[in-house]
Amino acid sequence: MSITVDARGLSCPQPVMMAQKAISGGIFPVEVFVDTVTSRENVRRMAERLGCKVEVTQQGDEFRLVLTK
């Protein structure tokens, strides 16, 4: 089972807050979809600070981050 967070179209800090809430749920992997470089980097930094491994892939103009423990 995985958790999906669709934060496309949202500006920071909303994507970070949504991803952080999903991480706190303890179910991994967490997939986070964002559509700006700023959101991608902010979510990546927050997840790494919380001890997650982050895999980023770009799909067109959007980014998919897979967060695992």
Domain 3-68 -> CATH class: alpha beta
pLDDT tens for 14-52 read 999 999 999 999 999 999 999 999 999 999 999 999 999
Is the pLDDT reported for residue 1 higher than 90? no
d(CA 60, CA 19): 21
Hunting for tokens 């809430």 — which residue is that? 21
Domain ranges for the chain:
3-68
Is the pLDDT reported for residue 63 higher than 90? yes
Query: Residue 67: its pLDDT value, please?
Result: 98
